[in-house]
Amino acid sequence: MKYQAYGVSPSGNCYKVRLVLEQLNLPYVWHEVDMMNGATRTDAFRKLNPNGKVPVLVIDDNTVLSESDAIVCYLADGSPLLPDNRLERAQVLQ
C-alpha cells in the first residue's frame, strides 16, 4: 500500500506528516497542493477534505484523514515514535 499525501511543503503541519512518513520509511506519494491558486477549493479536493485544508492523507479507497496531529498519531501508532507507555505517549503528544 502506498499512501497519498496532500500538502504544501512550506507548511509546518504538512512537514510533520512528511517527516513521519520519511522517518518510518513508509511508502507514499506526495501531492503538492497549490493553495494560492484555489486547489483546496476544487470539488475534487473537497471530496478528500470537505474543510478544504491540508494536510490530507489518503489511506485507501475508503479512508481519508485530515488534520496533521491525527495523521501523525495514526502513522506513528505501533512505532518507536509513539510509545506504548501511557505517560511517555502523553509526553510525546505534549
Angle of helix 68-76 versus helix 12-23 axis, rounded to 10: 10
Predicted TM-score (pTM) of the model is 0.92
The string of DSSP codes covering the chain is --EEEEE-TT-HHHHHHHHHHHHTT--EEEEE--GGGTGGGSHHHHHH-TT--S-EEEEETTEEEESHHHHHHHHHBTSTTB-SSHHHHHHHH-
Segment 8-63, tens digit of pLDDT:
999 999 999 999 999 999 999 999 999 999 999 999 999 999 999 999 999 998 99
CATH 3.40.30.10 applies to domain 3-93: yes
